[in-house]
A and B are shown apart, each in its own frame.
Chain A
Amino acid sequence: MYLADRSAPKEPLAGRGTTTTAVAPVVFALGAVSLITDISSEMVTAVLPLYLVTQLGFSPLGFGTLDGVYNGVSALVQLTGGHLADRVRNHKLIAGLGYGLSALCKPLLLLVTALGPLTTVLALERTGKGLRTAPRDAMISLSTPPERQGRAFGVHRAMDTTGAMLGPLAAFLILRAAVDGYDAVFGVSACVAALGVLVLVLFVPGPGKQREAVGSGKPPVRVGEALALLRLPRLRALAGCAAMLGLTTVSDAFVYLLLQRRAGIGEEWFPLLPLGTAAVFLLLAVPVGALADRIGRRGVFLAGHLGLLIAYALLLWTPATPALQYLVLALHGTFYAATDGVLPAAVGDIVPEQLRASGLAIVGTSQALARFCCSLAFGAAWTLWGDTRALAGSAVGLLCCAAVAGLVLRPTAGRPR
C-alpha cells in the first residue's frame, strides 16, 4: 500500500459536501485575494519599463540587470514556503506573510529611485509571491473533495487571470488621468494590495479546521518527512513528468516572438499578445477544470500539451491564413487552462494532507526550474540552429515527453485517475 492511499480523505468535512457542484467558499475567498493581488502587481508590471526609461532615465541595459535576479530564487522560495506552511501547520499564516511582504513592497516603490534598491524591492516582491504560492494552493486543495479539485483550481485560476487582465487597464487609466503619475499608480497598487491582504485575513479561515483534520498533537513536520514525499512513486512520477514536459515548454515570450514574426503582426501589437492567451485561459479554466474532474486529470493534462504541440506545429507550418494568430493564442490559452490548475489538482490526490503544501511546492518547483532550463536551452538552440529548427526540436521533444508521460501517468489498479 502506498503512503498516498492513506492520505485519501475518509469522509468529507462538515459543510463541504452539501451541494454537489458548489465550490468551497474558501476557494472563492482565495480567488478574490488572488484577483485583487494580481490587479495590484500587474499595475506595476505594466508601467515599470516605461517608468524606468522615461522617468528614471535608465538605459535598456540598466534595466537588463533587473532580469535574471529572480530566476530560480522564486522557485526555491516556493519550496521554503510550502515546507514552512506544513511545519507550522498554518497555511494561512505563511500565505499571509507572502501576500503581506508583496504588499509592503508597493509603497517602497515610491521611495526608491536607484537601480540597486529598486532591484531589491522587486526581488522581495517576488519572494512574497514564491512564499504564498504553495500554501495557497494547499488551502484550495485541502478545502475541496478529491473529485472536485479540478473545478476548484479552475475557479481560482480564472479569478487570478481576471485580476491580471484588469491590472494594466487600471494603470493606464490612472496615467491618463494624471500625466506621469507613476507614483499614483504605485500608491493605488499599494492600496489594492492591502485590500487583498485584508480579504485574506477576514475571509480565509485559519488553521482551526485544518488542525482538527491533521491532528494538532502531532510533532512538527520535519524536512525529512517532506523529502520522504519523493519516495511516493506517484508523486515522483508527477513531478518527473511535470519537469520533463516543462523542459519542452517554450516560454511565453518566445512563443509571442515567433508568432509575431510568423503571422506578420505589427510590432505595436506585441504587448497585447499575452492578453489573448489570458482571455482564453480565463474563459476555459473552469469548464476544463470541471472536465478534468469528470474524465480524468491525466487525460486533460496531456490533451493540454497536445494543444501546445498543435500550436508549435502551426507556427512551424505557418499556413497563410489570417486566423493563424487567433488559433495559436487560443491553443496557448487552452494549454494553460488544461494544465495550470489541473496539475495541482492531481497533486491533491497523491500527497497526504499534512504535507500537501510541501508536495505542491515540489511539483511546482520542478516544473518552474525545468521551464527556466528550457528557456536557456531554447535561446541557445535558436542561436545555433535558427528559430525554425529550435522550435521543431522542442516540438519533437514535447511529443516524446508527452508520450512518456502518458505511459508513466497511466492509471493503476484501484486509482482510476
Chain B
Amino acid sequence: MTPLRRLLILVTAVLLLAGVGTGVVLHAASRAARESRPQAGGPSVSSGKVTLTQKGRLTFVNAAAGPQRTAVASVPSTDPEAGRTASGLKCVRFYAAAGTGICLQSVPGVLKQSNRALLLDADLRTLRTFPLAGTPSRARVSPSGRFVAWTVFVSGESYSSAFFSTRTSVLDTRTMKLTPSLETFSIALDGKPYKASDVNFWGVTFASDDDTFYATLNTANRTYLVRGSLSKRTVTTLVQNVECPSLSPDGTRVAFKKRVLSRTNLWHEYVLDLRTLHETALAERHSVDDQATWLDNDTVAYALPTDGKVGSTDLWTVPANGTGTPRLLIAGASSPAPL
C-alpha cells in the first residue's frame, strides 16, 4: 500500500469516526435536553417551596422528565399520586428529618467529577458545604436532626487495581464537628477488638437517642451489622450478612438488604428484630439495592430500577412484617424521606 493511500484511508476513517462520535454525543445531549422537558403522561410537577417542617409530606428526589429532574420534591404522604412540588435544589441522594436536610451532589468538572455534601436548613438553604472524596452513595439524618451521615464510594485510579473503598462521615450539626471517617472508631468484632486496613463502613442509620447508630461493616469479604456509639467512638458487630440497615421509628427493628447469593449483586429485603435477632423476609421478590426507609412502624419504602430505563428508579413499599405484596409508591423517584 502506498503511503498516500494509507493516509487517505486514515483521513477517511478519522472523518467517519469523528462523525459517529459527534452524532453519539449530540444524540445524548438532545436526550438530556428532552429529559429536561416534561413528557406527556408523566406526573405533574410544579416548582414551589419545599420545606422540611411540613408534616404529613414525603420528600424524594424527582426523576420524572422535566426541568425539575433530580430536584428535591415532595408529595402528601396520604396521596403520593398527587402533583409534585419541586424545589430548586438538585441532588443525587437526599434525606431529611426534623428540619435538617442533607443533599449529596455530583457536578461534572473538567478533570474530575466534583462531589459535595450540602447541609440544609428547613428551607433547603445551604448551611455548610463539604467536599466529598468520591461518588455519593448513602445519606441519613438522625431523628432529632442533630447528626448527619453520608457514605461515598472512593475508587482507585484504574479498574484493574485491587482498590476500592467506601468512606462514611458523620457530622454533628450542633458543633459542626465532622468525623471524616468511621474507620477511626474502635471495632469489637465477635466481642474481640479488631483492626484491619480493609475495613469499610456504609449505610448509617441513627437511633433517637442521638448516640446509638447502626451501620454496615465490611472486612475480609464479610459484611456485618454493627451497633455504634458516637460518644464512645466504638462499634460492635451484631450479625453477619447485613447491609444498609434502616432503623424503625420505634427503634426495635432494622430493615436491611441481605445478599442471597454470594458473589452476586442479588439482595433481598429483610427485617431484623433487634431483641431476638430473628429475621423476616419481606414480600419483595426483586433484588433491592437501596437503603430502605420506614414510612411508619409497619411500612418500608425503597427504590427499584425502572423497568427498561437505565438511570431511573421507582419507589415501592412493602409491609414490614413479611406479609402482603409490594406496591408502587411513586414512579420516577428515589431517596424517600417522610417528614
The answer to whether A60 and B161 touch across the interface, beta carbons within 8 angstroms, is no
Contacts A60-B137, A188-B21 known; A179 to B166 CB distance under 8 Å? Answer: no
The answer to whether A181 and B32 touch across the interface, beta carbons within 8 angstroms, is yes
The answer to whether A181 and B265 touch across the interface, beta carbons within 8 angstroms, is no
The listed residue (B6, B159, B162, B265) touching A203 by CB distance below 8 A is B6
**Closest Cβ neighbor of A278 among chain B residues:** B157
B31 surroundings in chain A (CB, below 8 A): 178, 181
The answer to whether A184 and B180 touch across the interface, beta carbons within 8 angstroms, is no
Q: Does A355 reach chain B (CB closer than 8 Å)? A: no
The answer to whether A53 and B135 touch across the interface, beta carbons within 8 angstroms, is yes
Overall SS of chain A's interface: helix
Bound complex: CA A382 to CA B196 (Å): 7
Q: Does A96 reach chain B (CB closer than 8 Å)? A: no
Bound complex: CA A63 to CA B116 (Å): 21
CB distance from A188 to the nearest CB of B (A): 4
> How many residues from A make CB contacts under 8 Å with B?
75
Question: Mask for B1-39, Cβ within 8 A of A = 1, else 0?
Answer: 100001001100110011011001101110110010000
Question: Mask for A265-298, Cβ within 8 A of B = 1, else 0?
Answer: 0111011101100000000000000000000000
The answer to whether A45 and B134 touch across the interface, beta carbons within 8 angstroms, is no
Question: Mask for B203-238, Cβ within 8 A of A = 1, else 0?
Answer: 000000000000000100001000000000000000
**Closest Cβ neighbor of A110 among chain B residues:** B24
The answer to whether A59 and B137 touch across the interface, beta carbons within 8 angstroms, is yes
Q: Does B40 reach chain A (CB closer than 8 Å)? A: no
**Closest Cβ neighbor of B304 among chain A residues:** A57
The answer to whether A198 and B13 touch across the interface, beta carbons within 8 angstroms, is yes
Bound complex: CA A116 to CA B165 (Å): 20
**Closest Cβ neighbor of B1 among chain A residues:** A202
Q: Does A14 reach chain B (CB closer than 8 Å)? A: no
The answer to whether B32 and A60 touch across the interface, beta carbons within 8 angstroms, is no
The answer to whether A60 and B92 touch across the interface, beta carbons within 8 angstroms, is no
B9 surroundings in chain A (CB, below 8 A): 198, 202
Question: Mask for A31-59, Cβ within 8 A of B = 1, else 0?
Answer: 00000000000001111111001111111
Interface, chain A (partner B; CB < 8 A): 44-50, 53-68, 70-71, 74, 113, 115-116, 122, 126, 129, 168-169, 172-181, 183-184, 187-188, 191-192, 194-195, 198-199, 202-203, 251-253, 256, 266-268, 270-272, 274-275, 372, 375, 379-380, 382-383, 387
Bound complex: CA A267 to CA B164 (Å): 15
**Closest Cβ neighbor of B93 among chain A residues:** A54
Given A61-B223, A181-B28, 15 other A-B contacts at CB below 8 A? Answer: A45-B157, A54-B92, A59-B265, A61-B218, A65-B265, A67-B162, A70-B160, A172-B108, A172-B111, A172-B113, A174-B25, A177-B25, A178-B29, A184-B25, A202-B6
**Complex A-B, nearest 6 residue pairs according to Cβ-Cβ distance, in ascending order:** A267-B133, A181-B28, A187-B24, A268-B131, A184-B28, A178-B28
Identify which of B78-86, B141-149, B305-313 touches chain A: B305-313
The answer to whether B200 and A274 touch across the interface, beta carbons within 8 angstroms, is no
> How many residues from B make CB contacts under 8 Å with A?
73
The answer to whether A59 and B135 touch across the interface, beta carbons within 8 angstroms, is no
The listed residue (A58, A175, A191) touching B265 by CB distance below 8 A is A58
A270 surroundings in chain B (CB, below 8 A): 133-134, 154
Contacts A169-B111, A180-B32 known; A187 to B21 CB distance under 8 Å? Answer: yes
A45 surroundings in chain B (CB, below 8 A): 157-159
CB distance from A207 to the nearest CB of B (A): 16
Q: Does B192 reach chain A (CB closer than 8 Å)? A: no
The answer to whether A115 and B264 touch across the interface, beta carbons within 8 angstroms, is yes
Bound complex: CA A274 to CA B197 (Å): 21
Contacts A60-B153, A188-B25, A268-B133 known; A50 to B113 CB distance under 8 Å? Answer: yes
